[in-house]
Structure 1
Amino acid sequence: MKYLSVFTLLLASVYASAQPVRSTAVPAKAKTYTTLQVPGRAEFCKIDVNGKSVLPSGRYVTPAGQTLRISNDPFGLAIAPNGQKAVSLHDGVLTVFNLASLQATRIPDYAGKIPPALKAGSFLGVAFAPDNRTAYLSNGDKGRVLVFDTEQLRTIDSISLDGDGYTDSFTSDLLLNGNELLVLDRANFRMVRIDLATKRIRTSIPTGRQPFGLAISPDRKLAFVANVGLYAYPKVPGVTKTNKDTMALKFPPYAAHTKESAEGVEVEGRRIPGLGSPLADEAMSVWTVDLSTNKVVYKAKTGVQIGEMIEEAEVVGGSSPNSVVVGSRYAYVSNATNDNISILDYKPASRTAKRLVGTISLKVDPKLDRYRGLMPFGMALTKDQKTLYVALLALNAVAVVDVSTRKVTGLIPTGWGPTRVALSPDEKTVYVVSARGHGAGPNGGATFVKPPQGTYIGDIQLGTFQAVPVPDAAQLVTYTKQVLANTYETVTLTDDGRNPLPVLPKTRQSPIKHIVYITKENRTYDEVFGQLKTGDGDSTLARFGEGVTIKTRVSTSRGTSGRTTDKPIDSVRVTGADIMPNHLRVARQFAFSDNFYCDSDASIHGHHWMLGTIPNEWVEANAASEGRFDMDSKAPGRRFPKASGAIDPEDYNEIGGLWEAFERNKISMYNFGQVNEFAGNIEEWTTTQFGAAQSVVFPMPKAVYPHTSRDFAGYNTNVPDQYRMEQFEREFTAKWIKGKEKMPQFVTMQIPNDHGAGPRPDFAYPYLHSYMADNDLAVGRVLHFLSRTKYWKNMLVIITEDDPQGGVDHIDAHRSVLLMAGPYVKRNYVSHTHANFGSVLKTMYNILGVPYVNQYDQTASLLQDFFTDKPDYRPYEVVLPDGRVFDPQAAMKPYKKVFDWRKIQKGPEMDDRADQRAEHYRQQNGEY
């Protein structure tokens, strides 16, 4: 309770200093509520390998047993038959463990003495041969199986999955079956059988879509394939590599899980094929293969199915069956989206007997169990088939399940994001690998020392390997308490009705009626706000702040061969430049956080988290592996979404995320530019209608599809943010100022150019900094515009980033930008409360009266310190960034548009006096 008491005192003092003096007596109408909040809500992120590490979520990790820090994102794990070695598989890297001494060898090593083994790409699959020396490795995107010698530490052979009419193979999971390998090819939707004597494929057996997990029965007669794919996505008719710029679809043709997506539609003068039913046998299912006949003998739809109802919420996400373990009669399937395990009887008494005979609901705590948020992934089954170990990707724990009672008996603490769990041959030790381990920590600053693995967020963030003695009952109780304490604390709060942010949803009305959620791309706190003296920043890292010197790297001379002979030097191009003055001005005038973290490493995670969707194992595994997209490939699995700025149907959580929550609760909403980026998109400077055009047919989430602007360019750094502002102001004015519609309660807007891109001097972007300045001016324009509308008096604007991968930070590589503005936001305030996307979502849900969706919303910190009950209606005044860095008129020139600064400063065209009078009385009459 130490942290809680310090936090409470801190909040009390901060809040008191910002408010008028009031009576200390609690008003009669005050009510007391119990909330769940993360234990690290008064702390900054930190790594303590011998104690508690504080994650970006504000949760702790305290891995049990002996722990090694290894390369990031281990998604494959195998133990040698004699129990002396283990191998973990990462993206292009593998780690070989000596289990007796618990030492790890990375291949390749950082010193360059051990050469690479994988030669780019890997994915899930790893298996040991009976000789305890040879390991078979998935070469992922390369479509090969590599044979690796764990003693010589080198690759000794390679087997291709291509051939016999199959191309573009992608190696997924694999296992050894006597003198053959069973290997999944997720690109061609098949399982192949490879003869190890000849290194040739014996046969190919069709599977469902995107085969992901593979297991075999103890008698080796049956194989089980878990398919995580939902749809097979067709190419847009008429699109070729030469005409895609003009023939690609300007907007997604339909929403997911609709009549249109099932049957197809007529769009843009073409018949766009449908995707079929999400309940098809090929979609998110487990197939049983008879190895004696090479026939699929049973197709099981495990978990909860799309379209079913759970507690008055429609299921929109498939179950995502990803891993299978098999006993003498039953197979167990982890359904990530549903937080449960399906039990499959593969030896039924008769052909008509029921095969799916039960479900193990992974209930871990009565306070959490109502919501999803565990994401079961890898599993291990004891030899007596009485105990099941399940890696809970999103809880940072391994669940211990009593198979006979079908109940969780306890939890074992792991690193951040456990992916695989295995047992030693004597079953005395549990081995666990976790994708993100203790977190990232700082990746820059005056005292920072660069580690050998690098400083990019995906490199500096190491995974973990744990060796945990199998706990007895008493130890398991202790471990379980630790996992839950790492996840949340129960906090009792008194709500006196004054703070605009209610303690819980649906407890009272907030004076805030409109929320504008602005998301940007890829920046850390220090590179934007490092100079702010009121926050914990490092000014030496503030490359996009005030008074910045812009340098470019140039060569000094060339020899007679034309090659550079001297080392490049830095050439100063601009000095004393204010790159993002509006960000700094908003931070100083309104409120910002110096303790906000993206849960994400990159966009492929970020656009999930910030829209209320926990990335599942499919997202995480794809993010950690190369995967070539090819719209023309004969392999249907090569047309997979791998969305970096959208959410794929394969990724939808059980009852969805933010969009679905608002739809269920009848919250009016509108979307400018979110969920627009899928694999294979065309993003040119002329692609301005939606920012991206589609070469392959990918649907949008059903809840947001009809509420999305058809004239706003989402992610596409070739389009100026100034162009987006013209689109936004034009549509906002037409719909909600001059039109008859009221502004929706919730509006999302993507302003992405702070992602940055290569210099484009011919398009007014001579430096990387030019993109930042363009983005900064757009942010300033949004607030300038909104604060001059009639809706401002009841508005909250939240501004943040989808991920922090573009920069460095002296606290943690995940620390990023969070700004809040509006009449009910404190002026000149910095929040030190630990915040993440869950905190932002909780803020929106509590204000708009929307129940929480998942455990991350439920347990996030409560950001009441940002707000005041004394509104200040003063508008924001936008300022121009340095014209030497970014010229907005030049950026708009290719579009033959004028950057009218005077018009921008004037603000939106306001209604006349009669309209204002009518609006006043509508509000007084309770209509608004």
Structure 2
Amino acid sequence: MKFKTIPVIIGTLSCVLVGSAAFAAVSTFAGPHEDGTAVTSIGMRVTPTGQQTSLGDLPLNSAISPDGKRLAVTNNGQGTQSLQLVDLADHEVDQTISYKSPESLYMGLAWSPDGTKLYASAAANSKIRTYGYSGGKLAEGAPIQLPTTTPAGKAVNLFPAGLAITPDGKRLVVADQLADAVSVVDLATGNVSTTPAGHRPLSVAVSPDGTTAFVTNQGASDISAVDITGAEPKVSRTVTVGLHPNKSVLSKGGHTLYVANGDDDTVSVVDTAAGTSTNISVAPEKGAPVGTNPTGLALDEAGHRLFVSNSGNNDVAVVDLAQKAVAGVVPVGWYPSSLAFSDGTLHVTNAKGLGAGPNNGPGHPNPESTAPAAENQYSGSMIVGTLSSFSVPEGGQLQKATEQVKNNNRPDTAGGNIIPRQPGQESPIKHVIYVVKENRTYDQVLGSLGKGNGDPSLNLFGDESAPNMRALSKKFTTIDNFYADAEVSANGWNWVASANSNPYAEQMWPANYSGRKAPYPSEGNAPEIAAQQPDNTYVWQRLAKAGVSFRNYGFYVSNNAGTFNAADPVLDAQTDHNYHGYDLNCPDSAGSFAPLKPGCGTPRIEEWANDFQSQVTSGTVPTVQFVRLPNDHTQATRVGAPTPKAYVADNDYALGKLVDTVSHSSAWKDTAIFVTEDDAQNGPDHVDAHRTLALAISPYTQTGKVDSTFYSTASMVRTIGLIAGIGPLTQFDAFATPMNASFTAKPDNTPYTALKPSYDMTTVNGANAPMAPQVATQDTATEDKIDEQLFNKSIWQSVNGADSKMPEPQHSVIGSGSSSQLAAKDPDG
């Protein structure tokens, strides 16, 4: 598929009916648009330059064949991974070689110097795939097997990432990402020699004389220079660069190494002889918060210009190396991940292409089913990567491109009388409660609400099982254009807590979710996960530094013999250690299902309420509270576990009790409760797979109106930060629209009384539950170790019957726009 891009068109497209309400559709929705542009889940516009070619799921790297005719692309997503060959003459994909889990690919690609062979890393399989290349086609041969045990016999997971071949074609250098090591393969004998390197090595570049391999250590702030001349490789020098270096490229003579620093928004210029480095900023402006997230690099033939794929800004920076500064930027697709330059043309892989769009077709995710959803319906695997190919603009054309990027990424600085415009300004809201639940779409719970942009045919949880979520949405503000900034929980919890998900997490979560032996890249204090410095990444760390009080109930905790502790000491110091973390065997609220295992202690919301009441009594209610309510995740149709509706009812009742407790307290008059899901992966939505639930509950939001402003997770993080008095964490929450349109200057202090779901919350799945045998094989002990596609189908059948069919696809293009919705944007009502 090929398509050319045209400028973003903003305006009314049509009027269509959804359910019983009509909406004027405008292009303020997330996902691909018919004009070849898109809007990301955060709200940034995507207007890719040049020729566009559709690729596979999450293309993370590319390499041009020595003859310049083919581009090899490795697609490393959660679903079917693949190796593709793109003909650079006509921009068509000529060949796709697919691998289903547990078979794998990863980021490493290297052509032999004579162009007859291609090597690709297969991280989960501890091997390097080899292909013969002839007649424009690849043929897979015998792999190079890497060690799976140490010399002492201990099991090891090398997880090969970046690859580079020596100029003589005799040796292959491998970055062993999860083993903190580097391997050198003798291609004649197959002998493998391995040596320790830095933390989480990612990419490799080999010097022109073949003596040194330069390895970026993605989990640190340095690169390793590895001497590969001897029988055993050894690190000869470590050079400091920016935080979390990604890919690198060597100058033609090998005197300079350029390194993309993913969480520093810089490119390091390393003098390979002296072992020193300087940095070039690729941030959009001086003083901008982190978020550009540079990943890939390429040089032009003359070595005068360096190209940088800025995954966070959806652009490619053109760096004038004589001036050591960015000359301009060019818009490309969503999340550019790698670059290749040949014959005057730059080729850019865009890992997220034009985004997701709706996922309400046959085989969509269904929390009451355990059958796999189709890969093109699951948020974690449905996004099609793209390739943007173009001649790099210069002069006035480059400046026009730069302006386009600025317009695409221009932040919304609007505020109002309730949400401050800047941190530190006065607001009648003095306390914030931030509630995060697990994995629901808007349509699953509010599709049949009767107001807002819902699809009733997709509504699974109605007044019987989610009465409070629905009543609160009606009574306060119906927020119907809110998107999770993540595809799954592994990057969702990064967005929830830090308004970013860095390149390490984005590269690693698909392998984790698909059983390809990667770690879970979230909810920890590992340095590679922190999108900035480990002590300065998360919202609670910023609150602590600003002297703002907070309290934690379940965020980022683990179970330590019945006591719940956070690895981050800053968070742990303010954590209720009796509040149960993620564990689907323990209830969110009292009076629902019986604990499925001993040690659950007090139900979550009762533990929170006891703590909150003591704070009210003592006048010590903190400025910000973090509350995790996970049980709407469900265990699908697992025999003996609560049914999906029972789980959702338990979760919903807990939320209702929280609002009831706050609204009947003295803190109600100056409190705002923000509620969302960490992601929307467990269900379908007729607008976009990222669209999810959001509530803003306060005397200042008790309007009954619909707010169709484009919001996302980052909007909620920004709004909380503005109220609490801290600045943006990253470029993403600095960009995101604060949720002022949900508020009014006229408070209504009427308290809320929780509704008990009519669905019996003690109901459990019987042996005849739909797809129970398949569900029984799934691991629900920790977040998202399950086959989400399987779970979603079983949940659908649990609610609608074992013989029920998924709704047919709908192709309506819906955004905000009815007069009643637009009226909701008036903060004074």
Classify the TM-score, shorter chain.
0.7 to 0.9
Residues 219-618 of structure 1: matches in 2 within 5 Å? 219-229=209-219, 283-293=220-230, 294-303=233-242, 319-327=243-251, 328=253, 329-348=255-274, 355-365=275-285, 369-424=287-342, 426=343, 428-444=344-360, 453-488=375-410, 499-506=417-424, 508-546=425-463, 578-618=464-504
Q: Deviations over 1:794-849 (max 9, x none)?
A: 10000000000000100000000011111111321211000012211221122222
Distance 1:614 1:218, change over 3 A: same
Give the C-alpha shift of residue 771 in structure 1. 1.4
Does the C-alpha gap of structure 1 residues 701 and 468 become closer, same or farther in structure 2, counting only changes over 3 Å?
A: farther
**Conserved? CA contact 2:262–2:502, under 8 Å:** yes
- Give 1:51 deviation, angstroms: 3.8
Partner of 2:125: 142
Aligned twin of 1:563: none
Q: Residues 758, 344 of structure 1: CA spacing in aligned structure 2 closer, same or farther, 3 A cutoff? A: same
Q: Secondary structure at 1:868's aligned position in 2?
A: coil
1:724 matched residue in structure 2: 604
Q: Give matches, 1:72-83, under 5 Å.
A: 72-83=57-68
The one-character-per-residue Cα deviations of 1:456-477 (angstroms, maximum 9, x if unpaired) are: 0122211111111222223211
Q: Work out whether residues 670 and 708 of structure 1, in 8 Å CA contact, stay in contact via their aligned partners in 2.
A: yes
Asked if structure 1 preserves the Cα contact closer than 8 Å seen for 2:158 and 2:176, the reply is yes
- Evaluate the alpha carbon distance shift between residue 483 and residue 494 of structure 1 in structure 2; reply closer, same or farther with a 3 A threshold: closer
Is the contact made by 2:170 and 2:188 (CA closer than 8 Å) also made in structure 1? Answer: yes
* Offset, 1:627: 8.2
Partner of 2:106: helix, strand, or coil?
coil
**Matched AA of 1:346:** T
1:101 aligns with one of 82, 86, 90: 90
- State the shift of 1:588 in Å: 0.8
Deviations 1:244-298 (A, max 9, x none): xxxxxxxxxxxxxxxxxxxxxxxxxxxxxxxxxxxxxxx4421111222433221
What is residue 207 of structure 1 aligned with on the other side? 197
**Helix, strand or coil at the partner of 2:323:** coil
d(CA) in 1 for partners of 2:101, 2:619: 58
Cα–Cα, structure 1 residues 613 and 447, in superposed 2: closer, same or farther, change >3 Å?
closer
Contact persistence 1:41–1:834 (CA under 8 A): no
Question: What letter matches 1:618 in structure 2?
Answer: Y
Find the structure with the greater CA-based Rg.
1
Is this contact kept in 2: 1:140–1:626, CA < 8 A?
A: no
**Is 1:650 the equivalent of 2:528?**
yes
**1:411 partner SS:** strand
Unaligned runs of 5+ in 1: 7-39, 109-114, 230-282, 304-318, 349-354, 547-577, 631-637, 694-698, 889-928
1:451 CA drift (Å): 12
Question: What do the CA deviations read for 1:207-246 (whole angstroms, capped 9, x no partner)?
Answer: 11221121112232211111123xxxxxxxxxxxxxxxxx
> After superposition, where does 1:463-862 map in structure 2 within 5 Å?
463-488=385-410, 499-506=417-424, 508-546=425-463, 578-626=464-512, 642-646=520-524, 648-654=526-532, 655-676=536-557, 689-690=563-564, 700-722=567-589, 723-734=603-614, 736-738=615-617, 740=618, 742-760=620-638, 762=640, 765=642, 767-862=643-738
Cα shift at 1:77: 1.1
Would you say the 8 A contact 1:139–1:145 is kept in 2?
yes
Q: Distance in 1 between matches of 2:100 and 2:756?
A: 52
Structure 2 residue identity aligned to 1:340 = T
Over the matched positions of the two proteins, sequence identity in percent amounts to 30
Q: 1:320 to 1:671 in 2, by over 3 A?
A: same
Give RMSD over aligned pairs. 2.9
Q: Deviations over 1:704-729 (max 9, x none)?
A: 22111111112121211121112212
Are the structure 2 counterparts of residues 757 and 858 from structure 1 closer, same or farther at C-alpha, using a change threshold of 3 Å? same
Q: Which of 19, 27, 51 does residue 66 from structure 1 map onto?
A: 51
SS of corresponding position for 2:700: coil
Check conservation: 1:826, 1:866, Cα contact below 8 A.
Answer: no
Secondary structure class of the residue paired with 2:709:
coil
1:117 CA displacement: 8.4
The 1:668–1:510 alpha-carbon spacing in structure 2 relative to 1, beyond 3 Å, is same
1:125·1:138 contact (CA, 8 Å) conserved in 2? yes
> 1:352: which partner in 2?
none
Question: Deviations 1:109-140 (Å, cap 9, x if unpaired)?
Answer: xxxxxx64886222210112244353211101
The one-letter amino acid paired with 1:330 is T
Q: TM-score, normalised by structure 2?
A: 0.81
Render the CA deviation track for 1:874-924: whole Å, top value 9, x for unaligned. 111111113335469xxxxxxxxxxxxxxxxxxxxxxxxxxxxxxxxxxxx
Residue in 2 that maps onto 1:244: none
Partners in 2 of 1:852 and 1:139 — Cα distance? 38
In the alignment, what sits opposite 1:57?
42
Indicate the residue corresponding to 2:33 in structure 1.
Answer: 48
Distance 1:153 1:717, change over 3 A: farther
Secondary structure class of the residue paired with 1:757: coil
What is the CA–CA distance in structure 2 between the aligned matches of 1:794 and 1:607, rounded to whole Å?
A: 27
Q: Runs of 5+ in structure 2 lacking a partner?
A: 1-6, 13-24, 366-371, 590-602, 765-829
TM-superposition CA deviations, 1:32-83 (whole Å, max 9, x none): xxxxxxxx99812241263431221111101111111222211121110111
1:592 Cα deviation (Å)?
2.6
The answer to which of 288-297 and 454-463 deviates more is 288-297
AA at the equivalent of 1:676: V
Q: Which residue of 2 aligns with 1:170?
A: 159
2:227 and 2:235 in contact (8 A); partners too: yes
> How far does residue 791 in structure 1 lie from its aligned partner after superposition?
0.7
* Partner residue, 2:595: none
Q: Number of paired residues?
A: 709
* C-alpha distance 855-710 of structure 1, shift in aligned 2 (>3 A): same
1:589 Cα deviation from its structure 2 partner: 0.8
Could you report, residue by residue, the CA deviation over 1:630-664 in whole angstroms, capped at 9, with x for unpaired residues?
A: 9xxxxxxx8x8624444543222334231122112
Report the CA distance shift for 1:641/1:170 in structure 2 as closer, same or farther (over 3 A). Answer: closer
**d(CA) in 2 for partners of 1:544 and 1:170?**
41
Separation (CA, whole Å) in 2 of partners of 1:510 and 1:347: 56
Q: Is the 8 A contact 2:508 2:519 kept in 1?
A: no
Matched-pair contact (CA < 8 Å) for 1:672–1:712: yes
Structure 2 counterpart SS, 1:531? coil
Contact 1:670-1:747 at 8 Å conserved across structures: yes
Query: Is the Cα contact below 8 Å between 2:522 and 2:529 reproduced in 1?
Result: no
Indicate the residue corresponding to 2:177 in structure 1. 186
Q: Structure 2: how far apart are the matches of 1:832 and 1:808?
A: 19
Q: Can you list the C-alpha shifts for 1:481-520, whole angstroms capped at 9, x where unaligned? A: 11111111576x696xxx21122222x3111100000000
